Amino acid sequence: MRRFENKVCYVTGAGSGIGKATALSFAREGGKVVVCDINEANAKITASEILAMGGEAIAIAVNIGNRDEVENSVIETVKHFGRLDAAVNCAGIAGPVSMKLHEYPDEFWHQQLNVNLTGTWWCMKFQIAQMLKNGGGNIVLLSSAAGLIGQPENSPYAASKHGVVGLTKTAAIEYATDNIRVNSICPTAIETPMIMYGRRKLAENPEALQQAINHQRMKRMGQPQEIADIALWLCSEQSSFITGSSIKADGGALA
């Protein structure tokens, strides 16, 4: 039997990268998938791919930095599917500049903290409230290697991702006896649009790309599917005694 047969699985950032790989993986394992992304067109593409493989999915446009949009997405999930069993919160942003802390623009600090940390907290807030109503569930948060070590010239990203690790531990303790497990994943360089075309523009900078590859002990970039596989394992009964963990997925970089 597929691990998520008839389970309702909610994924943010599901229009691309790790989120899309996770949404498709849930569908292949029998899950009913709620595809959330700030880019509605991308969310609809992912949902249509799930429908094409014979799965069930709905697409919802969600900016996780907006409390009402997050709350409404969970309300819509329950309205459509009746419950919420698993949530993988992949949505996040990286700053557009690389600057030391004392020079870093205020607006980009607030933007990253609002999306990566407060937005993740809002997702958890409404997901957990629903999971308490339907008897439990599993939540996975996407932190980063920058949630475990410092990231020079990217202070708000590191601060926000360290905060996600703190949320993971705290929520895991608070709901450990409510049949709700909370874990996070801390990847390094994964080949996603955010890292390839975002702040570091690795797709356009062969030298920077090679530096990222060299930092991984396996000497390659990670793939979105490799992170999705961890997320599904953490949401499954195969990891039933694990909560409050932040799992490195780093190709040995931090070993």
Clarify whether 157 is annotated catalytic: yes
Q: Crossing angle for the helix pair 155-174 and 120-133, nearest 10 degrees? A: 20
Comparing C-alpha atoms, which of 29, 26, 164, 151 is closest to residue 91?
164
Q: Which of 10, 104, 157, 175 is catalytic?
A: 157
d(C-alpha 145, C-alpha 149), whole Å: 6
Comparing C-alpha atoms, which of 113, 114, 234, 228 is closest to residue 172?
234
Catalytic residues: 157
